[in-house]
Structure 1
Amino acid sequence: MQMIRTIPVKEILTASSRTQLKDKFDQRTQQLDQECRQLSFEQKKLERKPGIAKQDVERRFSKEINRRKDQLRWLEYQRQQLDTLPDGSELETDEVEALVTVEEGDHWAEVTQEQQILIKDGKVIRAR
């Protein structure tokens, strides 16, 4: 049997990776901000249409806007961590899903054991 697992990806901070991560965080922040503005525009446009309940439109759009605002808060937290952590520290930057095969007789503790991928300067240095 196979199951899907989420595995965190951690970046070991160096001077060059710190710069790359700041750029990545800035780009993602701009993208999320643009998406929030676009969703607000679409919400107002739909609210003006006759025959559409404003409460339904507001509920649907506010859910999506709040999800993006949560991502913006997470990016801000990661940015603060990036500024405070010294070089050589590990910063969780992403998550990936992996397919794990489970067979009869496998030790459950080994299957559910915490796994992670470590990256340094754009190269995978350890998958543990």
Structure 2
Amino acid sequence: MYILQTVVVKQVLTEKMKRQLLLSYEEQKSQLQREYEQLRFEQKKAEKKYKNSKKESAQLYEKEMQKRLDKIQNIEFQVNQLSLLPLGSELKEQELQTMTEVNVGDRWSDIENEKTIIIKDGIIIDIR
């Protein structure tokens, strides 16, 4: 019989991974800033075009712009946290579902324990 089991995948923080994460964060932040500026431009355009429904459209744009600003703040927080982490730290990357074979006579405690895969620079270095 097979059962589904959750496996946690963790990355070991290396200098290479740290650079990749910082680059990814900067790209995300840049994209969000472009979206924010685009929304601001569209808001001004809509204000000029639809003077009667100015308040409703302004609220919608403000809400979307605030979402972008919140995401930018979150990214800045993650960058700060990343700078505090020492090299060699394990970062949870994802959780996967695997099929595990269960047979009569197997130790349930061995099957029940959460499995973890440790990756360093794209190579599996440990399975716990």
Shift of residue 120, structure 1, vs aligned partner: 3.6
RMSD (Å) for aligned C-alpha atoms: 3.4
Partner in structure 2 of residue 78 of structure 1: 78
Partner in structure 2 of residue 25 of structure 1: 25
Shift of residue 13, structure 1, vs aligned partner: 1.1
Aligned residues: 108
Partner in structure 1 of residue 47 of structure 2: 47
Instruction: State the TM-score, normalized to the length of structure 2.
Output: 0.65
SS across alignment from 2:36: helix
Partner in structure 1 of residue 104 of structure 2: none
1:36-79 residue CA offsets vs partner (Å, 9 max, x unmatched): 00000000000111354111111111111111111101100110
Unaligned runs of 5+ in 2: 1-7, 98-113
C-alpha contact (below 8 Å) 1:11/1:119 kept by paired residues: yes
Partner in structure 2 of residue 65 of structure 1: 65
- Report runs of 4+ in structure 1 exceeding 3 Å deviation: 8-11, 114-120, 122-128
Structure 2 Cα separation of the partners of residues 71 and 9 of structure 1: 25
Structure 2 Cα separation of the partners of residues 116 and 70 of structure 1: 32
Partner in structure 2 of residue 3 of structure 1: none
Unaligned runs of 5+ in 1: 1-7, 100-113
Structure 2 Cα separation of the partners of residues 68 and 81 of structure 1: 20
Query: Sequence identity, in percent?
Result: 39
Larger radius of gyration between Structure 1 and Structure 2: 2
Instruction: State the TM-score, normalized to the length of structure 1.
Output: 0.65
Partner in structure 1 of residue 121 of structure 2: 121
Does residue 34 in structure 1 map to residue 67 in structure 2?
no
